[in-house]
Amino acid sequence: MRLSALIPILLSALFLAACSGPSPRSGDTPETITQASLPVSGKGHEVVFYALGLIDTDYRFGGRNPEAGLDCSGMVSYIYDRAAGLKVQGSAADIARNGRPIARGELRPGDLVFFNTLNRPLSHVGIYIGDARFIHAPSTNGKVRIDRLSDSYFARRFETARTYFD
């Protein structure tokens, strides 16, 4: 089996191991997000697993599929369509307007996180994967990757969260 075929399996195993740890309690580091009391959506899990398979996909402005490259909203549209059968289209701002607002503390895997990265509200979107981490397609460094909501760059620019599930 090729190494590239093993990467999604290894990432899934790491994700599941990270999710099996103890729940955060008051007094935990600011990096942690108290997990939502609602159960994780089955579609949310599918979205996360599909997204993990796109790690290191090239960034391309306006990109809507992995073969040509993905931008942030194109990545979300592509994953939500393939993994959850949901049509989520438009810019990051359009996607935010159509989702149901949730508090940061209610984030569950598969929900969406939005940032102001271009001095314009709702200019970037990523998919929350759990443990205060999200996957996104940033133009900087040009690859789909995982970052932490607590990273200083994203913590200063976080705007809102939305869900399309339940």
Nearest to 54 by CA among 41, 71, 37, 36: 71
What is the per-residue burial (b if ≥16 Cβ within 10 Å, else e) of 130-151? Answer: bbbbbbbbbeeeeebbbeebee
Print burial letters for 85-97: b (CB count within 10 Å at least 16), e (below 16). Answer: ebebeebbbebbe
Backbone angles phi, psi at 24, to 5 degrees: -65, 145
Residue 14: the pLDDT is: 44
Residue 153 makes CB contacts below 8 A (sequence gap 6+) with: none
pLDDT per position in the chain (166 positions), as tens?
443 444 444 445 444 444 333 333 333 334 445 555 567 789 999 999 999 999 999 999 999 999 999 999 999 999 999 999 999 999 999 999 999 999 999 999 999 999 999 999 999 999 999 999 999 999 998 999 999 999 999 999 999 999 999 8
pLDDT of residue 37: 59
Q: What is the pTM of this model?
A: 0.80
Q: 98: Cβ–Cβ under 8 A, 6 or more apart, which residues?
A: 88, 90, 164
Q: Which residues are catalytic?
A: 72, 124, 136
pLDDT value of position 30 = 44
Q: What is the pLDDT of residue 16?
A: 42
First to last CA, the chain: 37
CATH architecture of residue range(s) 3-12+42-163? Alpha-Beta Complex (3.90)
Domain residue ranges in the chain: 3-12+42-163
Q: CB count, 10 Å around CB of 104?
A: 16
